[in-house]
Structure 1
């Protein structure tokens, strides 16, 4: 197998740990196996990457993991060689790309052939257990499997729990991804000049990530000036002005396929931040540090919500979607909401050692000019947390 970058990660150990986590969850739920389509889940199970973004919307790859039996990767037709040398994959087969795009009016025929092959694997390797966990499946394929005698169960829950506890190999892999991301952040800061567009600034993060062995970026969340408020606009050809707030959220899939999810807010140009910019930033920093101080193993998600930073009323309407979320090969379990959202969206759970999470802060008011976005990525420990993201904080950071 070819790596995209120099790495200190023991990939053999990494693969064995991640596969063992999947099988632990399969046994706990009494499932005979799993069939995984989501690219991060395929990556978790096999460590084999292939056209990750394309595969998000084209069902061209999947992997069968028997609870007590083989791992069989179904890859894009002419890409079976990508798994050569993988010590955990017993066999690689050509996938049935069951989409109308590839199958046209023969779609249902091909879906039947696909279902028959999967059902045969369940009979051979399930030990009589026909319960198969599947993470993502369209209705036509689900009905075909059911007609073939397979009982479909929840693979998304299975994989969220399989992925949420990292060992030392995964943490090292994540640190390498964050290092590539933060090199990109530094490149953006060095490039930031009034008169450039948001897109031009954002391109430095992409270029640096790819140059360092990174893979792709999930979002385009960089905005400036009044486009920062409300949040969740993607970057554009707006020209950044001197004195503008520039805020971004990396959402970057870096080396090893791990996510580096870091947010910073700057002021463009050699200018003193305004009093309002400093006020917003100070509240965001207080928010971030208050919630980080809560983090430790054993903290309940409801307790996290209840003890979280009390947002001043002027910022409640523009609050972020969560105060914390898990992170691994992408955003994942756990997830904690603001108190205002508990009744509708909240659920309880417990932070555990080995979870990696991102703590969020977004401060902006309805009718206000700008928003400030900050976010840190950390490893949960028995006594607190280990900070994983180290890009300097500050409206005008020191590099």
Structure 2
């Protein structure tokens, strides 16, 4: 598998972005460097205080897409197929107002959408250039494309899942009584990179009471015999698509009956939630499936976050698997299923797999055992 996205596919994404913008009553979509721009053009770079902005007119507008960028940044687009995509490259130099340049290219829109992660300095600069034009979030346009993965994207997510599974399979090397979370985390980071990731975007090693903090990172706490340890790890592969997988371990001895009973309820909840994934189900139904079993086991108040999040070029993206989200699941949607039970001040547990909705059900992209592994 090559890392480059075929130009024909990028062109199709640009076309469909314009169609979705038009369908939502948006005249122009404005994107600065980030995953949305990468999704549409293949550009993987970044920018700083100087404005780089892709101008995508809605379908039906006569103006072609244009990329506004500082002249000193233009060489960074050498490998981006702008000509083949029909994107005009427009440069500016220090002393010019790039926001007015964007305004000229946009051609008098009545509604614009800016990407969700655009820096405030650029949002405000564009607002000054379009003083009477309402701004909305571009994520509402692009999520219609990005949350439905094509076969190439699913292949990349599948490869990322297999790579992080291989790291989890080595936890016996890293988690031992007497080591600190930070020491284990350093070894895990090295293993993530060795398995082909471009970075370890996050490494959570939550031992004992730290496992009850879902977004704990690592600390100098020493792992003790009998600790329950939550390990949540992941990051991007060279193609940009991310892994994200959580497993829970018992280190230095068999856990007690309470831990075993609670973990069994969690494992059953995760299995039931994954089994409920299919075309036609809603995101809310998956969340409620996991939550209902955990509540029935007496731990409803200890499940303190949504059941999952979409994944792709971002670790967290649409669709979000949470009660109240009545989005109907469709083939190609990829997201985590990760219920957790957290006993504040004592211990916690979480099981997380990335899944993809198939034509008739679901595929798990993480295949390691989900049992409470005793190391």
Same structural fold, with TM-score higher than 0.5 when normalized by the shorter chain: yes
**Residue of structure 2 equivalent to 1:100:** none
Map 1:173-188 to 2 at 5 A.
Answer: 173-188=156-171
**Aligned length, in residue pairs:** 362
**Residue of structure 1 equivalent to 2:54:** 63
Structure 1, gaps ≥5 residues long = 1-5, 98-108
Supply the distance in 2 between the matched residues of 1:335 and 1:252 (Cα, whole angstroms): 19
Is 1:86 aligned to 2:70, yes or no? no
**Residue of structure 2 equivalent to 1:28:** 23
Tell me if the contact between 1:187 and 1:204 (Cα under 8 Å) persists in the aligned partners. no
SS of 2:338 mapped into structure 1: strand
Supply the distance in 2 between the matched residues of 1:96 and 1:394 (Cα, whole angstroms): 58
Map 1:308-327 to 2 at 5 A.
Answer: 308-310=290-292, 311-312=294-295, 314-327=298-311
Whose helix proportion is higher, 1 or 2?
1
| Alpha-carbon spacing, 1:59–1:168, altered in 2? closer, same or farther (3 Å) | farther
Supply the distance in 1 between the matched residues of 2:157 and 2:20 (Cα, whole angstroms): 23
SS of 1:280 mapped into structure 2: helix
Aligned counterpart for 2:269 among listed residues 287, 306, 318: 287
**Residue of structure 2 equivalent to 1:133:** 113
Map 1:186-335 to 2 at 5 A.
Answer: 186-269=169-252, 271-310=253-292, 311-312=294-295, 314-330=298-314, 331-335=316-320
SS of 1:144 mapped into structure 2: helix
SS of 1:261 mapped into structure 2: strand
Once the two structures are overlaid, the 10-residue window that deviates more, 114-123 or 299-308, is 299-308
Q: How far 1:154 sits from its partner (Å)?
A: 2.7
| Alpha-carbon spacing, 1:363–1:115, altered in 2? closer, same or farther (3 Å) | same
SS of 2:169 mapped into structure 1: helix
SS of 1:179 mapped into structure 2: helix
**Aligned Cα RMSD in Å?**
3.0
Supply the distance in 2 between the matched residues of 1:252 and 1:137 (Cα, whole angstroms): 23
Is 1:358 aligned to 2:336, yes or no? yes
Tell me if the contact between 1:251 and 1:261 (Cα under 8 Å) persists in the aligned partners. yes
| Alpha-carbon spacing, 1:179–1:61, altered in 2? closer, same or farther (3 Å) | farther
* Cα offsets for 1:328-362 (capped at 9, x unmatched): 2121122233xxxx5xxx23221111100111110
SS of 1:386 mapped into structure 2: strand
Supply the distance in 2 between the matched residues of 1:92 and 1:245 (Cα, whole angstroms): 54
Runs of 4+ in structure 1 off by over 6 angstroms are none
The TM-score normalised by the length of structure 2 is 0.84
SS of 1:170 mapped into structure 2: helix
Tell me if the contact between 1:230 and 1:318 (Cα under 8 Å) persists in the aligned partners. no
The TM-score normalised by the length of structure 1 is 0.79
**Residue of structure 2 equivalent to 1:120:** 104
Is 1:391 aligned to 2:373, yes or no? no
* Cα offsets for 1:146-199 (capped at 9, x unmatched): 23x654333121122221101101111222222332333334443322222212
**Residue of structure 1 equivalent to 2:127:** 143
| Alpha-carbon spacing, 1:302–1:188, altered in 2? closer, same or farther (3 Å) | closer
Tell me if the contact between 2:50 and 2:70 (Cα under 8 Å) persists in the aligned partners. no
**Residue of structure 2 equivalent to 1:167:** 150
* Cα offsets for 1:54-103 (capped at 9, x unmatched): x6x86764422233554444557654333323224534455789xxxxxx
Once the two structures are overlaid, the 10-residue window that deviates more, 199-208 or 41-50, is 199-208
Supply the distance in 1 between the matched residues of 2:70 and 2:369 (Cα, whole angstroms): 42
Tell me if the contact between 1:287 and 1:361 (Cα under 8 Å) persists in the aligned partners. yes
| Alpha-carbon spacing, 1:95–1:171, altered in 2? closer, same or farther (3 Å) | farther
Tell me if the contact between 1:214 and 1:256 (Cα under 8 Å) persists in the aligned partners. no
Supply the distance in 2 between the matched residues of 1:370 and 1:96 (Cα, whole angstroms): 56
| Alpha-carbon spacing, 1:184–1:71, altered in 2? closer, same or farther (3 Å) | farther
**Residue of structure 2 equivalent to 1:42:** 37
SS of 1:249 mapped into structure 2: strand
